[in-house]
Structure 1
């Protein structure tokens, strides 16, 4: 989802009076209607972790991701937005203005669900190697409409408060039960994992405890250098997304790094269930500098992958949504070509 640098961004140091003024004017500005743009080309939108829902009810594509906002389009080419999508409880553990990462929209039993990562920067749950770990967790909101607003449900905690988790996604396993699949962050455990937790039938909370599916170090393709310059498996797990091939094989997209290059790979379940075991592909799936992918089917029946790339502009990293046409007809997902709507 983010480079490791992303996790260490800190607020600028301001004197108290300036902070008060900033917070006041931010609150006033938030009450004003957000300016909306029309007919924006996809490659002109700046968005991390883009996730697209093709909603048959409205015959509209809805795109969200990091930031808690939403775009909509009739043709995947031109987009209107951004609209506010997530409405959180300021009295919950998230605080009044949580950071929102990697949101996804899922339709389930005639309701729309907003899976996302919420971070309260004012709450610290741990300190590891001198780095303060913020309160961060995968969570789910609900709406009767694809465009939202998405609101909190009964349970305000899906995952343990003392574990930083992120990038939750949705899957119904072969036992018919709903699950959230998520990452347990490397910042705390030193070797990021992907895990599952069972959800209540209406997704309003979780049941039991999380279970390990695989670790970052299981990957043969993701690499990094340690402090001494030795080559080792990368510690980052990021952006899981489940899919099935036409042959019925269960696969998972997930993203890590090859040294300083953001890259996406895939793994496949031997048993055909979430319990695996999960066998990692030897080579990455996407071209370099693309990651955090998800899949959706167009209204014309074509399978596409939505993901983002990184680009440096004037010393600043921007993230740009991208679409690829994919083939699911065999035992493995393959990328066919970039998709240009």
Structure 2
């Protein structure tokens, strides 16, 4: 009976979380109609999954994330925004007003690409344990300019329509081929996975099928309780981002949970390619309550990691961007200290 009660408690919490998520993104879309603000300090911006492109063409930093909006800055300290830069096709699977999560900007072959997760709440692709699974997928838009607008390319679908995928990021492997690395969501498979899929040379679509890199349960540091209250690895995979160390080692930062604490870990590829095998580090890479990280180099040549933290403000949870200085000169990624621009 206790196990059953715990199951329904977890299910209720998940439904509540999904409702809060809907509210959060509704508010994010409402922000698009607000006037552009100027000289906003980084710690005054409320943003999940912050990703920063240091664009040498314009000598400007562009920050994207969840909500489909963009901020820009010349010094990482004072930001102007938000700007609405993502233009989707209302006749596509995304629908008229998709939710946009975890957007990243990547410069590749003189074009700018917008990797993001799009969710159409009007389409249900599956029901698992009584919970409806919405149509959600990682996708790519393109622009000739860092500030956009970003528009769809030829292919409407990069990943299977019957699988919820999220947090797609970009990497060119040692074979010279471009790939999307993404999460196959735990809501459907019960044990989130990290996967790769090859992209067309112009990133306008995908080639072949996705391939497994590792599972959430491979993590030695993430934890949760099962329906009987027993300890087990957490089921969530979130926020992959790839990098090379100074020694040439291929690594991936990614995020899960230690019970109710958002936490980021790191894995390294034994082969130096996406095919791995991926060896998980024993301990998290960031302090507690920081996650969904990415890496970028400042115009002065310093490596930084952008992440977000959670904080309660009254009965709401806000997400705040944060920067850490990192050292990539050796064989491993090392976080040095918080970065204060």
Q: Give the TM-score range, shorter chain.
A: over 0.9
What is the root-mean-square deviation of aligned Cα atoms in Å?
1.7
| Cα-to-partner distance string for 1:24-74 (whole Å, 9 max, x where unaligned) | xxx9x89x9640100000000000000000000000000000000000000
Give the Cα–Cα distance (whole angstroms) in 1 for the partners of residues 324 and 84 of structure 2.
27
| Cα-to-partner distance string for 1:279-306 (whole Å, 9 max, x where unaligned) | 0000000000000000000000000000
Give the Cα–Cα distance (whole angstroms) in 2 for the partners of residues 33 and 169 of structure 1.
28
For 1:148-227, list aligned pairs within 5 A. Answer: 148-227=148-227
Offset of residue 9 of structure 1 = 3.9
Which residue in 2 is equivalent to 1:298? 298
Give the Cα–Cα distance (whole angstroms) in 2 for the partners of residues 191 and 148 of structure 1.
36
Give the Cα–Cα distance (whole angstroms) in 2 for the partners of residues 284 and 9 of structure 1.
27
Give the Cα–Cα distance (whole angstroms) in 2 for the partners of residues 152 and 336 of structure 1.
39
| TM-score with structure 2 setting the length | 0.92
Aligned length: 324
Find the residue that maps to 1:66 and give its secondary structure: coil
Find the residue that maps to 2:79 and give its secondary structure: strand
Find the residue that maps to 1:220 and give its secondary structure: coil
Which residue in 2 is equivalent to 1:244? 244
Offset of residue 6 of structure 1 = 3.8
Offset of residue 11 of structure 1 = 6.3
Give the Cα–Cα distance (whole angstroms) in 2 for the partners of residues 116 and 304 of structure 1.
21
Find the residue that maps to 2:255 and give its secondary structure: strand
Which residue in 2 is equivalent to 1:18? none
Give the Cα–Cα distance (whole angstroms) in 2 for the partners of residues 6 and 99 of structure 1.
15
Offset of residue 84 of structure 1 = 0.4
Offset of residue 120 of structure 1 = 0.2
For 1:245-284, list aligned pairs within 5 A. Answer: 245-284=245-284
What residue ranges of structure 1 are gaps of 5+ in the alignment?
13-22
Find the residue that maps to 2:235 and give its secondary structure: coil
Give the Cα–Cα distance (whole angstroms) in 1 for the partners of residues 198 and 22 of structure 2.
36
Which residue in 2 is equivalent to 1:333? 333
Which residue in 1 is equivalent to 2:18? 7
Which residue in 2 is equivalent to 1:15? none
Give the Cα–Cα distance (whole angstroms) in 2 for the partners of residues 10 and 65 of structure 1.
15
Matched, 1:320 2:331: no
Give the Cα–Cα distance (whole angstroms) in 2 for the partners of residues 198 and 237 of structure 1.
20
Q: Would you identify which runs of 4 or more consecutive aligned residues in structure 1 move more than 2 Å?
A: 3-12
Which residue in 2 is equivalent to 1:111? 111
Q: Does the CA contact (< 8 Å) of 1:34 and 1:83 recur in 2? A: no
Offset of residue 10 of structure 1 = 7.6
Offset of residue 315 of structure 1 = 1.4
| TM-score with structure 1 setting the length | 0.92
Give the Cα–Cα distance (whole angstroms) in 2 for the partners of residues 277 and 216 of structure 1.
14
Which residue in 1 is equivalent to 2:3? none
Offset of residue 248 of structure 1 = 0.0
Find the residue that maps to 2:152 and give its secondary structure: coil
What residue ranges of structure 2 are gaps of 5+ in the alignment?
1-12
Give the Cα–Cα distance (whole angstroms) in 2 for the partners of residues 220 and 240 of structure 1.
17
Which residue in 1 is equivalent to 2:8? none
